[in-house]
Structure 1
């Protein structure tokens, strides 16, 4: 038994009927069109993955940072100190 209870002989008969109905040229064109569509889909997925990798590389901070940019300033502490000086 084959797929879904269909034997090999039934599958061969179905294949023969399909070839007789559509002809080998149409089936060949259908196969090449399907192959081209799959190739285009794979290329689009590949391009999308490379674009995602490029964008994640750009978002990562660089190793060389200036000391001035790494300083943190506590603005609230400065404001409290200024108010204390004014009083």
Structure 2
């Protein structure tokens, strides 16, 4: 949990990688280490998952869906809720 902080406001209106590639997403996730916005595992390209495994020390992402207040640790496969 070291290094996790509230992600900055998203700098894009969607998955950064999908927008660059011209692909689509289902839901958005924000890395709690660097703020990278990626698409969820239900999306065709699963960019949030790829980011978590490619970026050393960036295993936790939060949901960016309206009304959702949870995070997911890709390394430990843990669903995290706020205290």
TM-score clears 0.5: no
Select the structure that is richer in strand: 2
- Please identify which structure carries the higher helix content: 1
Q: Report TM bin, short chain.
A: under 0.3
The answer to which structure, 1 or 2, has the higher relative contact order (CA under 8 A, 6+ apart) is: 2
TM-score, L = length of structure 2: 0.18
Higher gyration radius (CA): 1
State the TM-score, normalizing by the size of structure 1: 0.17
